[in-house]
Amino acid sequence: MNIVEKIWKTNIKNQLILVLSIFAAVGMFQLGIRNSLPQLVISVTTAIGLDSLIIYKKLKKPFFSTSALISGLIIALALPPGIAWHIPLSAASIAIFSKHTIHIRGRHNFNPANFGLLLSMFIFGTYLAWWGATNTWLVLLLGTLITYRFKRIHLVLSFFITQSILLGTYFVLKGEPFLNSILMINLFFIFVMLIEPKTSPIHRKGRIIYGVLTGAFSSVLIATIPTLDPSVVALALSNLLVPVINSKVKE
């Protein structure tokens, strides 16, 4: 078995960690280690340390949390490079605490990394840079592969089509090119955060509805409140509706 086959057959979380690590390495190369590495270290160590501590108190045994590692990487790759140290620390802490405290029907309702970024945006006035997507073609390639592995192509497409049509119509009415709606798609968001399985609907039809709703929310936010990051706010709104979608859509 060659190395490509080994990677393809490994745990899907490990594959996502590898993809995020590649995004981080490429971003650090382009932006400079001094500007990007500190927040990666702070966010990842905070998320892993806090999650492991909480789980240890529950289970009374050591536990390394790969999901916390993923959340830490996402937060670091979304925040602006060179940001003050307390912001990635706070965002990662909020993400982990939300994971363990905000539950509906036995599931944590909000995507932890998204929730941490959302509150940081409101508390600290932070804008999001999404520097994990500095190389668009790499994100398209690896993002498509990881989405296929998660079996969430239908979710990404439902978001993409909805936002493209709604936002494209808005731009055309303003006398701007329809293409702008496609160029504004947040690739890192749709390939990494939107597809997160634990906070998205259980069934396929539910996930399609979820993608449509998130795309619609994002379009409205771009058109009406451009100062807010539309992806993060839209996902949080859709997360709130997941219990309803799961109860109404059974296939």
Evaluated on CA atoms 94, 95, 99, 104, the torsion sign reads: positive
pLDDT value for 4:
52
pLDDT value for 243:
92
In sequence order, the 6+-apart residues with CB closer than 8 A to the CB of 77 are 20, 23, 24, 27, 40, 130, 131, 132, 188
pLDDT value for 115:
97
pLDDT value for 151:
94
pLDDT value for 207:
97
The mean pLDDT values, 10 residues at a time, for the chain of 251 residues are: 57 91 96 94 97 88 88 98 96 95 78 97 94 95 96 97 96 93 94 94 96 98 93 97 90 73
In sequence order, the 6+-apart residues with CB closer than 8 A to the CB of 145 are 19
CB of 74 within 8 A of CB of 20? yes
In sequence order, the 6+-apart residues with CB closer than 8 A to the CB of 200 are 152, 155, 194, 207, 210, 242
pLDDT value for 106:
66
pLDDT value for 140:
96
pLDDT value for 65:
85
pLDDT value for 160:
97
pLDDT value for 108:
74
